[in-house]
Every structure is written in C-alpha cells, then in structure tokens.
Amino acid sequence: MLHPTFAAKDPRVATIRAKANWMRRRSIRMVFEARQGHPGGDMSATDVLATLYFGVMRFDPANPLDPARDRFVMSKGHCTGALYTALAGAGFFPEDELSTYLRPGSRLNGHPNRTYLPGVETNTGPLGHGLPVAVGIAVAGQIDKSFHRTFVLTGDGELQEGSMWEAAMFAGHRKLDKLTVVVDRNRLQQGARTEDTNALEPLADKWRAFGWDVSEIDGHDHASLLATLEAPGTERPRCIIANTIKGQGISFMLDQASWHHGVPTQTQFTTALEELARSEEDI
C-alpha cells in the first residue's frame, strides 16, 4: 500500500480535490433548484466518489458497457446529487443536464436508474439492495476470470439491513478479492444517530468476522482514500470504513441529522456557495 504521505504528492490528488469541491457546489445547487434532495449525505459521500471516478476506476464513458470496465454500485441510492455530478464530471452525460435534476421527464431521478442513465450499473433506492447486487456482479467476474473490480458505496445506517450481512457473509465465503465496499461512516441516518437507533460498533470487527480485509480511514482525506483504494488486493473482499461528516464542507449542515434531506433557504444557499468558494481558493 502506498503511504498517504507519498500519495499526497501524486498529481491526481489535486485534481480529485478540485473535482470534489466542484461536485459539492454543483450538487447543492441542484438540490436548491429542485427544492428537494439529500444534501447531507451528498456532502459526506463526495470525496469517496471523486476519488473513485477521478483517480481509481477504469471506465470509458463513450462505451459505458465495456466488459472490461470497473463497476460501481451506489448502494445509498438516495444520494444522487453526489453520484450524478461524478457521472457528469466523468463524461457519461453533459454537465448541462444536471440542471434537469428531479424535473418531470428528467433522466436524473431521485434514485439512479440504469435504463435511463449511462454509467449506472443497477437501480438503487430501497436500502440494503446495492451490496447484494454488487456481490452478484463480483461473483460473475470471478467465474469469468475477469480483471474488472467492483466498488460499492454504502451508508452506515444501511448496514442495519439484514440483506447487507447475508451478502457480506457470502462475499467472504467466496473470497471475492476484486470487491471493495466503502462505508460512508457519518454516524447519522434519517432522524437520529446510528448508535442510538441500532448500534453498529464494533463495526470493523463485524466485517473481519465475515472474512473481509478491513481498513479505517478519514473519508475526506483524498490522499488516504487514493492510497487505500489502490492498495494491492488480498485474497479477501475489502471493506474501507471511511469516517466522514454529514454535510461536510458546509458549516450549517455539519453533523446534523436534520440535513439527511432538506432544502437550503436562499441565505443558506448563498452561505454554502461562499464557504465552498473559499475552500476552492485553498486548493
């Protein structure tokens, strides 16, 4: 594994950081203009998505069904503001189309739909479905002796679903070494903290018990994300617990369950853009 100190010198880190800031600015605009969305989770997931799409995954947006492509499954399918900005920024569809987010007839629904949008591997929305589908994709790759990798981003609240652990157990049994799950561990779910709703800790030990190789990192540190996601594989599936903050980058959203979903006022929207613009200047 490349140490984060060395990864920080990788020129891709600056690109990823700039892309993540753009994704945050664009997705909060989408939510503000659509008057609906899940901005808190969008913000906590952005750095993981930016690192995957602009630093790690192999894909060709001109050939989105290329058999050799890496696969990505957005298991926390409600955070489409973050996903759609990543897909648009990566070239799967024009960035101008982001302005149609959640409008009647738009391809950009509240939950991703693979029949509408290139780059979406599977429909997600009801929680607990993304990892099981991704495990199936990884099993197919294992049978075909394919070199493609499968990445999944799951919310931590979603790990209260039994289907996630059935899939995790099977993945460990099959030693799906080309499967990587990233847990967006912001410790909040709709309306409450995960540990008050149905405690997940000791989370890393749970994954290890199911036969996974586990890492815990700062989910907003692009160098750490890049180094960990690109680390040489083992003979086991990999779980990366990315410690994040709901609403990251926007002061009034930070660590607030109330921003699981919601729409900023005009004043809040202006504040958010100003704060993100200052962050852009620091890049």
Write down the CATH superfamily of domain 4-282: Thiamin diphosphate (ThDP)-binding fold, Pyr/PP domains (3.40.50.970)
Calpha distance 4→120 (Å, rounded) = 30
Write the pLDDT tens digit of every residue in 82-134: 999 999 999 999 999 999 999 999 999 999 999 999 999 999 988 999 999 99
**Looking at residue 175, what is its pLDDT?**
98
Write the pLDDT tens digit of every residue in 59-74: 999 999 999 999 999 9
Please list, in sequence order, all residues whose beta carbon lies within 8 angstroms of the beta carbon of residue 65, skipping any fewer than 6 positions away: none
Write the pLDDT tens digit of every residue in 166-218: 999 999 999 999 999 999 999 999 989 999 999 999 999 999 999 999 999 99
Domain ranges for the chain: 4-282
Within 175-255, residue ranges assigned H as helices are 194-197, 203-209, 222-229
Global confidence as pTM? 0.95
Do 129 and 155 contact (CB within 8 A), yes or no?
no
> How would you class 201 by CB atoms within 10 Å of its CB: exposed for 0-12, middle for 13-18, buried for 19 or more?
exposed
> How would you class 174 by CB atoms within 10 Å of its CB: exposed for 0-12, middle for 13-18, buried for 19 or more?
middle
Q: 13-16 long-range CB contacts below 8 Å, 24 or more apart?
A: 13/55, 13/222, 13/223, 13/226, 14/283, 15/54, 15/55, 16/47, 16/50, 16/51, 16/54, 16/55, 16/222, 16/225, 16/226
HSE-up (13 A, CA, CB side) for residue 99? 3
Confidence of residue 163 (pLDDT cuts 50, 70, 90): very high
DSSP bridge partners of 135: none
